[in-house]
Chains A and B, each alone.
Chain A
């Protein structure tokens, strides 16, 4: 089955700790995205990547970092600089990034702060 997987489903972060959220896709999509979802705020774009070894900041990139070393993988690191990391994180991919493409979403990772 083709799709997007995210792991773990739940993640706990201690103060001052960096944590990494995994996102893998086997859809052969070029573009990948990370969104943050908070109650009542919809989805906000953190980072996106149109091609391997290239990525751009979205609307709320501060306190986050990403890498795109393989087409299939787009991990997100939540650094200690992100002061309010508790949220639901969604990874998505699309064939390309022309604006008209359907984005396919993973099941999400819920990050909680201890």
Chain B
């Protein structure tokens, strides 16, 4: 079964500083990778996703992520964070069709807190 590891449960960052949220997954086959964001007491919304092609994926709100197959990682980055980026971030993975597990498996989340 797929698993996703988000190594940091909480990340405090000063406003306008860069941030990296780490995500590693367990799979030796091709996968689809996602980052979702959850603002307090709300549902999740998609930040970005990797399906194939370029390993650097750009998303909304200035976020980007890089797919690294050899390290089975999909870390999320932003060069300069804003107060409004305070939220919980979830990494998720699914298998392509016919690999038997198209469901989305989520990591445990990283709570990003921006310090003014």
Contact = CB atoms under 8 A, between A and B. Distances in A.
Contacts of B34: 102
Contacts of B90: 42-43
Contact of B9 (A40, A58, A108): A40
Contacts of A90: 43-44
B108 to A, nearest CB: 4
Contacts, number: 61
Interface residues of B, number: 27
Interface string A78-105: 0000000000001010000111101111
A104 B106 CA distance: 15
B45 interface: yes
B54 interface: no
11 contacts: A41-B108, A42-B107, A42-B109, A43-B90, A45-B104, A48-B103, A97-B102, A99-B97, A102-B49, A104-B45, A108-B42
B63 interface: no
Nearest to B6: A42
Q: Which of B95, B101, B103 has the most CB of A within 10 A?
A: B103
Contacts of B106: 42-44
Given A42-B106, A99-B94, A108 B43 contact: yes
Q: Which of B36, B41, B44, B45 has the most CB of A within 10 A?
A: B44
A45 B42 contact: no
B56 interface: no
A43 B108 CA distance: 7
B32 A99 contact: yes
Nearest to B99: A99
